[in-house]
Structure 1
Amino acid sequence: MNYAVIETGGKQYRVSAGDTLEIERLPVEAGQSTTFDRVLFVNQEGRILVGTPTVANAAVVAEVVAHKRGEKKIIWKMKRRKGYHKLQGHRQELTVVKIKDIKV
């Protein structure tokens, strides 16, 4: 099974061709393709390539499926005995991508 480990948005993801994943928002329109060139690791039919820190000339091609927002996270701050409390919510901007190909 061919797979790669890519880095985007400060996070690392293990991806294979055909996978769909949600990543940090990319400035690419839905329906267009994008290329991830920060490939840290590639396993291609048992041939393993480990980057230092990235694998040279390796890229992962993906198609942007949609843009969406994640579920709401609640932030609650409070200081005891002071009467201070603050409620805040956050929804992360996400991009859904479908992995097309792993190029080495």
Structure 2
Amino acid sequence: MFAIVKIAGQQFKVQQGQNLYVPHLDGKAGDTVEFTDVLLTDNGDTLSTGADVKLKVKAEIVGEVQGNKVIAFKMKRRKGFRKKHGHRTLFTHIKVTDIA
């Protein structure tokens, strides 16, 4: 059984016991998170979409990680202007515990 879930504006295909890295969610390690915006479910022989889906996906927060560094470099030629900015996006590591 799998489900397509909308988390922070992005769609993820999840199965029970799966580990995912999703955009930053509020909470700390060990907290339980519930996602109610389920778009599609497949239960082997039946496929449910839209308003027919009545399931919720529960997951446990494992921790937080930072993504790769992204560099934004601005330069104007012949002017001596150089500006370098960088950031690392936060992701939350979750483990799907239940689809019910």
Structures share fold, TM-score greater than 0.5: yes
Over the aligned positions, Cα root-mean-square deviation in angstroms equals 1.6
TM-score norm. by structure 2 comes to 0.88
TM-fit CA distance, 1:18: 1.0
Superposition pairs of residues 9-20 of structure 1, within 5 angstroms: 9-20=8-19
How far the C-alpha of 1:80 sits from its partner, in A, is 4.0
Distance (Å, rounded) in 1 between the aligned partners of 2:46 and 2:53: 15
How much has 1:85 moved relative to structure 2? Answer: 2.9
* 1:23-45 residue CA offsets vs partner (Å, 9 max, x unmatched): 11111221121111111111111
Letter in 2 for 1:49: S
**Residues matched between the structures, number:** 100
Q: Normalized against structure 1, the TM-score is what?
A: 0.85
The alpha carbon displacement at 1:79 in A equals 3.6
In 1: Cα distance, 2:39 partner to 2:77 partner: 46
Alpha-carbon distance in 1 for matches of 2:47, 2:32:
26
For structure 2, the residue ranges without an aligned partner over 5 or more in a row are: none
1:76 corresponds in structure 2 to 73
CA distance in 2, matches of 1:85, 1:38: 44
Q: Which runs of 5+ in 1 are unaligned?
A: none
* Sequence identity percentage: 35
